[in-house]
Structure 1
């Protein structure tokens, strides 16, 4: 049996960075696609209604999510059979290639719809990579964490996700202030994707030096069914729990991230610069909330935080989004957005660790990846498209009621599910009583 094991205490933070930093690139790439689509939508589709062009690019954005279940299956199987490190290294390699494809994609004026096809292929490749990245990262972080601090350390997965979004926003703000609107529409929108490709390549080399977790090494490779669908479907209840568990949370997460900047500028009437600055400041607050909530879950359990999210999101989504539509300046928009982000912290800070705690080591990566990817494809990836579709149809408020219904269903799941905080992954975090048993 391998002896590398989980990193010792002095290297936990090294493992944390290596295991979670790919999520930074994930959210950076997906966020810059969403936010910079207002600049490149006209480059890949014929001139016409700007909202229709945005719908086309949002459609490609959503299609990428439907590759997540495939990526979740492929990389989830790889992570359970060959190790979390193998899955994490493969996913970041695919991220590099997809970012480069978008950066060099030809425009409609140059090659017609072929440019949109290249854009679509890049999004499909990103969907494959991200379908496995989230689960492999969640499994690695949870298994490498110190006993009793799994919620705290795992919350950094969301921290890095939002740092990636913050980096995307920072580049957007810098480019908006250093380039003319014409330049951004012409070629400036390509710059963030070039940065993303180089950053992903750097993370690849970092991950090649990672060590495997103790839980994976203890499991061994003798079990031929590890990482297979047959083994996973022995846990049908847990599979369905992850889908229902993720439905409301992933929808609200994308609603307050990729959709919010457009909502503030397209519906509330704020300038693009102001909308981007509001999101930037709110996400800084959100980042600091994640480890605090993760640490709280290590003390009081995961379910209280999830139920807090479910109740407040079900009751507060419609009034909060309605109030945001009526804001007149930076301060009001920032305050209301922070309220929304406090609500979804009950989900985002611990969603990864709860999913890993539902499955055994042999199918942990696949068990997180596949059902979460399905929920993300159906509810998270489609959030922006559904919101724009309702707006295009003249009934934008219906999107808020749709989100409320999804949150209500998830709340039922949170109330019905068991507490997972005390689940042991390996000998490093088993109590004496669990070892004796």
Structure 2
């Protein structure tokens, strides 16, 4: 899409008109992906002993988190295969495939038989469903990011990119509100026996709605103009390392912190606060819901700010503030709604400096013919290593009585990200390669 077709202008200086329907359709797959991944982490404390042997609750929970982490290691494979598919056959076609995989996996989990009914077949089916979702998410993030970057006018790429996490935050907010509702109206026994299935069923149904919505989005002009280059590439993954090694290193450096922030605040802290710090589950869900609403509201203003002041200053503030504040914030986790609101609110408000421009930053690193693959493979490999293991790491450290070490781990990641961001060129207003 050209800049002229993406906006309405007049000689009187009428404001840019965002193609909202197209941006929502492009972003909704990512929303559904993260909704499903969030409810898996947040409801794991209820269904762990349904799918795994109930004799040892701690072992069942660890097994559930290990399945969560395992699925992440299929994200790089999904990012590679579906990213390459998108570079060859189009962003739109690839995004149809990813949303079908995610919705199908969610519905399978919703109707899973329990361990008591079918024995080890239950966890096997869970693993297979999560593998499908892991591959789907690996492709969805890279392809939706590339799509948003390619359809955006250069001067407004930050604004267009903000829709990526507006949709994600809205979906996570839905998951959090649903968690608050279910924990409020169902008792522990009901949640463990059948209540945990409801969010997965909802996720599957939303997925099929997203599939219907995406039927109208056009393919990007950048893909159409460069698909022949992509078809002529041999060993495209090696091409990203050989011709764009700095871009790969930069992507890994700032994604490391981004994924740790995401899984710390949206996933890992919920079971950690309840199980390890004695927080009330309802208070945790409510605090997360309010903070997530703030997260959504800040996306567009922060995206617009990056179009004005640049990407780099925004990212430097985010990484530096996270390095300084994450450990003090962790000391507030525990009983009491106010403290929880501060933890989630401050953490997620800072995180918007990154999330609002993530598609723009990643799209600006690679040329069109390897953009889907370059983002898909290296972004997802980093997320698998650091994000997929976050709930498992925090749970294991809690069991060992060293939960505070996790937050120093995040602070260390923030320092690495800060040093990486210093090497980035400023890209606001530039034309994609």
Q: Matched residues in 2 for 1:275 and 1:323: separation? A: 12
Residue 216 of structure 2: aligned partner: 209
| Aligned equivalent of 1:228, options 227, 236, 242 | 236
Residue 275 of structure 2: aligned partner: 266
| Aligned equivalent of 2:225, options 218, 222, 247 | 218
Q: Matched residues in 2 for 1:70 and 1:22: separation? A: 18
Q: Matched residues in 2 for 1:219 and 1:137: separation? A: 17
Residue 49 of structure 2: aligned partner: 42
> After alignment, is 46-55 or 280-289 more displaced?
46-55
Shift of 1:214: 2.0
Please say if residues 96 and 198 of structure 1, whose CA atoms lie closer than 8 Å, have aligned partners that are also in contact.
Answer: yes
Indicate the SS of the match to 2:425. Answer: coil
Q: Please tell me the root mean square deviation across aligned C-alpha atoms, in Å.
A: 1.9
Q: List structure 1 segments (4+ residues) > 6 angstroms apart after TM superposition.
A: none
Shift of 1:222: 5.3
Residue 431 of structure 1: aligned partner: none
Shift of 1:180: 2.8
Please say if residues 55 and 385 of structure 1, whose CA atoms lie closer than 8 Å, have aligned partners that are also in contact.
Answer: yes
Indicate the SS of the match to 1:155. Answer: helix
Please say if residues 6 and 214 of structure 1, whose CA atoms lie closer than 8 Å, have aligned partners that are also in contact.
Answer: no
| Aligned equivalent of 2:188, options 181, 204, 222 | 181
Q: Matched residues in 2 for 1:296 and 1:126: separation? A: 33
Please say if residues 230 and 370 of structure 2, whose CA atoms lie closer than 8 Å, have aligned partners that are also in contact.
Answer: no
TM-score normalised to the size of structure 1?
A: 0.92
Indicate the SS of the match to 2:49. Answer: helix
Shift of 1:218: 2.6
Q: Note the alpha carbon deviations across 1:165-201, whole angstroms, 9 max, x for none.
A: 1111122222223333212111121111111111111
Q: Matched residues in 2 for 1:45 and 1:394: separation? A: 24
Gaps of 5+ in 2: 9-16
Residue 300 of structure 1: aligned partner: 309
TM-score normalised to the size of structure 2?
A: 0.93
Indicate the SS of the match to 1:269. Answer: coil
Q: Matched residues in 1 for 2:432 and 2:365: separation? A: 11
Distance 1:222 1:395, change over 3 A: closer
Shift of 1:221: 2.6
Shift of 1:230: 4.0
Please say if residues 155 and 430 of structure 2, whose CA atoms lie closer than 8 Å, have aligned partners that are also in contact.
Answer: no
> After alignment, is 192-201 or 62-71 more displaced?
192-201
Please say if residues 76 and 378 of structure 2, whose CA atoms lie closer than 8 Å, have aligned partners that are also in contact.
Answer: yes
Say yes or no: does 1:394 pair with 2:401: yes
Say yes or no: does 1:169 pair with 2:179: no
Distance 1:387 1:223, change over 3 A: closer
Q: Matched residues in 2 for 1:398 and 1:177: separation? A: 32
Distance 1:104 1:255, change over 3 A: same
Indicate the SS of the match to 1:423. Answer: coil
Shift of 1:219: 2.2
List aligned pairs for 1:30-429, cutoff 5 A.
30-221=37-228, 223-225=230-232, 228-233=236-241, 234-325=243-334, 328-425=335-432
Q: Matched residues in 2 for 1:154 and 1:359: separation? A: 16
Shift of 1:405: 1.1
Shift of 1:228: 2.7
> After alignment, is 365-374 or 347-356 more displaced?
347-356
> After alignment, is 197-206 or 62-71 more displaced?
197-206
Gaps of 5+ in 1: 427-437
Q: Matched residues in 2 for 1:346 and 1:37: separation? A: 29
Q: Matched residues in 1 for 2:38 and 2:275: separation? A: 17
Q: Note the alpha carbon deviations across 1:198-241, whole angstroms, 9 max, x for none.
A: 11112112212210112222324355235932433321221121
Please say if residues 87 and 227 of structure 2, whose CA atoms lie closer than 8 Å, have aligned partners that are also in contact.
Answer: no
